[in-house]
Structure 1
Amino acid sequence: MNKLVRQYVGMTIGIVVAATALNMFLIPNKVAAGGISGLATVIYHLSGWPVGVIMLVFNIPLFFLGIKVLGTRYGLNTLYGAAAYSVSIDLLAPYTPVLTNDLLLSSLYGGVVSGIGMGLVFRFKGNTAGTAMAAAIVNKLYGISVGQALLAADFIVVALAGVVFKSPELALYATISIFVTSQIIDLVQEGPSTSKAFFILTEQPQDIADCILYEIDRGVTFLQGRGGFTGQARELLLCVVSTSEVTRLKELVYQKDQRAFVIVTDVNEVLGEGFAAAIPKK
């Protein structure tokens, strides 16, 4: 499949999944989980106007302002994403069942499904405009960080929903949904942590390196370091292994040096020999 076609198919699937999450869990239960979609949810319950149309009304001028302030990097992908997201929400609304009216379940499952959808959109280099673009514009004009601008925008939308719907609980549930969505987006984009990185400080660096190379069959890198207290030059070993090899590597390290200092940390993605290909096959 052509790369561009694959990109737009992936974006579209993500958009449909995210739109389904709004219609199935968030909009019917007045959970305004931040962003333009959250603002549109509030306006929808006040006016009855379709959520997708409201989002488009906000996103189109925002898109052109983004082009003017940020340049053409916000191009066809963003315009397509914003339009397709709005259209999908309104087209799917009559056919999407509301699975639950429980606010906690709606917030959690709405966050999960929405996160999966938006994660796919971002993974395929798409964008749906909204507060992400607004935050980028604020950053460009006023120097406020994108993260702070996004947080402020989401806070304003959530607080507005709590005031309009006269329910602080709805604002709290929306906050849960925002948190869940952000975590799932990261998970979809980066993948689950299936590898571990070892940093090993030892008096037997070559012996342990040989064990890693020949008994576990993993690569190892020597890093040059210096003790902060002693000032002595030290060699630090860096090695990445799968989770199934963690216990074996620990055993090998402490068989060689019981005083070794070992740091084990999660690795979200590893590209290269022995792991995922750095360049996906066509």
Structure 2
Amino acid sequence: MGDFQMFKSKSLQSLFLIALGSLIYAIAINYFLIPTKLGEGGVTGLTTIAYYTLKIPPYLTNFILNGFLLLVGYRFLDRRTIIRSIWAVIWLSIFLKIPVFYTYHTTETIIPTLAGGVLTGVAMGLILNAGGSIAGSTILGRIFNKYFGMQIGSATLFFDLAVAIPSVLIIGFQNMLLTVLELYLSAQLTNVFLSRFGSKKSINIISNQTNLIAQKLSAELHQGITLIKASGYYSQTERPIIYLICSSKQLAEIIPLIREIDPQALIVVDNIRSVRAEELYRLL
């Protein structure tokens, strides 16, 4: 029962993060990209072009085109990803349909370019980290990540540029260059955001009080502690090394515990990226 409740809680959290990411993405489009007549990549780029040329509402184009791509993705991606992607597309269409309350105008077009890139990068990081996508080029990016090992952000950027560069005929050369800059910034932030998932600290502890420290850490952290057999070359004495992985928050609790037992203990801390095998794609 406890495992089911935990699974349900994590699922609800993921759905909330996907909806939040969709909101941020819609804000970037409605408040920064469209008012400045900037383009975008993938399906979103096609929605902006349809809006600039035919005045078709972005939410409508987004819903129809992404619905088609989700059918393509259904054949290559797992069911959970598709369901959460449908959830993201629905919310993105809803948020895109909400009227704009304030239209942002500036002659410094680099400002909305950077703002759009940051917001879309953060939004994509939230959505992808929660196991979803906004379909479009991210569906293709996930397929390339799964079968060719390409980073999701980089693969998505490739497909985005295939739409953004030809948009020069609609938005002009300068705005096309700004669109490419926005897409690059968004892709880099997406990669950084995903690489931070599972970011942990690894700790190696060498002490004369190995057993006491291991017992204390195991009791406090409620997790396994690994003892690595080792011996000192100079002293020729065997002294196991305590090895564990923890979060940055846990590290702040661990150091005082070790100092309390053995102030002379040698502690080596490294930054690592780790996830369970089933979530390995997040690090690629």
Question: What are the superposed Cα offsets for residues 103-154 of structure 1, whole Å, 9 maximum, x if unpaired?
Answer: 44323433443345445544655432111222345577xx433536334213
Kindly provide the amino acid, as one letter, of the partner of residue 202 in structure 2. Answer: A
Match of 2:111 in 1: 105
Matched-pair contact (CA < 8 Å) for 1:23–1:98: no
8 Å contact 1:161–1:170 — kept in the other structure?
no
Q: Does 1:210 align with 2:212?
A: yes
Give structure 2 stretches of 5+ with no counterpart: 276-284
Give, in whole Å, the separation in 2 of the partners of 1:247 and 1:226.
22
Q: Distance in 1 between matches of 2:143 and 2:204?
A: 40
Cα distance in 2 between the residues matched to 1:222 and 1:181? 34
Mapped partners of 1:153, 1:105: distance in 2: 24
| Residue of structure 1 in register with 2:181 after alignment | 172
Give the letter aligned to residue 250 of structure 2: S
Q: Indicate the residue corresponding to 1:83 in structure 2.
A: 90
In the alignment, which residue of structure 2 is the partner of 1:54?
Answer: 61
1:236 aligns with 2:241: yes
Evaluate the alpha carbon distance shift between residue 172 and residue 238 of structure 1 in structure 2; reply closer, same or farther with a 3 A threshold.
same
Residue among 19, 27, 31 paired with 2:34: 27
Write the letter of the residue equivalent to 1:176. Answer: L
- Residue 40 (str. 1) matches residue 47 (str. 2): yes
**Contact preservation (8 Å) 2:214, 2:225:** no
Task: Assess if the C-alpha contact under 8 Å between 1:104 and 1:173 holds in 2.
Answer: no
TM-score (norm 1): 0.64
* Residues 8-67 of structure 1: CA deviation (Å, up to 9, x unaligned): 555434423321222112232344453422343344334433222332332122122223
Q: For 1:49 and 1:96, how far apart are their aligned partners in 2?
A: 20
Task: Give the Å deviation of 1:226.
Answer: 6.5
**Is contact 2:40-2:183 (8 Å) kept?**
yes
Q: For 1:135-150, what aligned pairs fall within 5 Å after superposition?
A: 135-137=141-143, 143-145=147-149, 147=151, 149-150=155-156
Whether the 8 Å contact between 2:39 and 2:48 is mirrored in structure 1 is yes
Q: Does the 8 Å contact 2:213/2:258 carry over to 1?
A: no
Q: Once the 2 structures are TM-superposed, how far is the Cα of residue 176 of structure 1 from its aligned partner? A: 1.9
Distance in 1, matches of 2:104 and 2:271, equals: 41
RMSD over aligned Cα atoms: 4.5
Residues 226-248 of structure 1 show CA distances to partners (whole Å, capped at 9, x for unaligned) of: 69x99x98733224363535765
- Contact 2:226 2:243 survives alignment (8 Å): yes
List aligned pairs for 1:145-160, cutoff 5 A.
145=149, 147=151, 149-160=155-166
User: What stretches of structure 1 of length at least 5 have no aligned partner?
Assistant: 270-282
Aligned partners of 1:24 and 1:99 also within 8 Å: no
Could you say if the C-alpha distance between residues 207 and 31 of structure 1 is closer, same or farther in structure 2, counting changes exceeding 3 Å? Answer: farther
Residue number in structure 2 paired with 1:256: 264
- Residue 238 of structure 1 aligns with an amino acid whose one-letter code is Y
Residue 28 of structure 1 aligns to a residue whose secondary structure is coil
Whether the 8 Å CA contact 1:107–1:174 is kept in 2: the answer is no
Using structure 2 for the length normalisation, give the TM-score.
0.64
8 A contact 2:209–2:261 mirrored in 1: no
In 2, the alpha carbon distance for the partners of 1:105 and 1:183 equals: 21
Q: Percent identity?
A: 21
| Matches of 2:184 and 2:83, distance apart in 1 | 31
Match of 1:276 in 2: none
Partner of residue 279, structure 2: none
Tell me the distance in 1 between the aligned counterparts of 2:26 and 2:65.
Answer: 17
